[in-house]
Amino acid sequence: MKFSLRIWRQPSADAEGRMVTYVLDDISEDASFLEMLDVLNEQLIAEGEDPVAFDHDCREGICGACSLVIDGQPHGPQAATTTCQLHMRKFKDGDLIDIEPWRAGAFPVVRDLVVDRTAFDRIIQAGGYISAPTGTAPEAHSVPVPKQDADAAFTAAACIGCGACVAACPNGSGMLFMAAKVAHLGLMPQGQPERHTRVLGMVAEHDASGFGGCTNAGECSAACPKEIGLDVIGQLNRDFRKAAVRAA
């Protein structure tokens, strides 16, 4: 397959960026999107040019490292798919494809397509540890958890911290990510002792890190490769209100 790629090139955080066009004319339809970029980079290196910097790690849809806005959509045109799991057969031969980094105030560009997502780490850090003792697993029935809660917690825990929700949100809000983290611990018995301090700490760090507020646009959930639902934001809001009243 043949493709023209318009890629955001930016040598450093402070430098100006611009879209640069490249042409690839021998890409397998079975290549993943990142493998297609690997081919481009091999070509650029052979020509003595700087390769395009982009984030990736597992290439199996589980680590959340890959992070490209493809034709205006975080992770590209296929729903519920990370960039690394997107294949070139989803495009048409001869397509012109725009490739940009996540665009959000809290995720500054480091180089080319790589952004700094340490703001997510700060939110997790602000949530703190749980005080439940660790060690060997307790007997399964010693702490009963309703099946509905266990399933909801598991669904929320599927968040891989990729940041597509932030990139898709018109406000650059990190609410879906933060709500997934708040929900998955808040639904489990082990998460109860710090439930209120956790949500207050995370929300304060979210706002301090420059993420925008949520206006229920819903773009976050639509872009999420793990299909985290907007219901977790409702849970976050309820937990936050209760915690704020207790702290007052």
Q: Which chain residues interact with ligand SF4 by CB under 6 A?
A: 159-165, 176-177, 180, 224-226, 228
Contact region for ligand FES (CB under 6 A) — 5-13, 20-28, 56-64, 141-149?
Answer: 56-64
Q: Between 49 and 57, name the residue whose CB sits nearer to ligand FES.
A: 57
84 binds ligand FES (CB under 6 A): yes
Question: Binding string, 7-46, against ligand FES, x = CB under 6 A?
Answer: ----------------------------------------
Tell me whether residue 17 or residue 161 sits nearer to ligand SF4 (CB atom): 161
In the list 42, 50, 57, 207, the residue contacting ligand FES (rule: CB under 6 A) is: 57
Q: Which does 224 bind (CB under 5 to 8 A by kind): ligand FES, ligand SF4, none?
A: ligand SF4
- DSSP labels, the chain: --EEEEEEE-SSSSS--EEEEEEE----TTSBHHHHHHHHHHHHHHTTPPPPP---S-SSSSS----EEETTEET-SSTT--GGG-BGGGS-TT-EEEEEE---TTS-EEETTEE--HHHHHHHHHH----S--SSPPPTTSS---HHHHHHHHHHHT-----HHHHH-TT-B-HHHHHHHHHHHHTSGGGSTTHHHHHHHHHHHHHHTT-B------HHHHH-TT---THHHHHHHHHHHHHHHHH-
- Which x/- pattern, by CB under 6 A, does the window 123-162 give for ligand FES? -------------------------------------x--
Contact residues: ligand FES, CB under 6 A = 56-59, 61-66, 82-84, 160
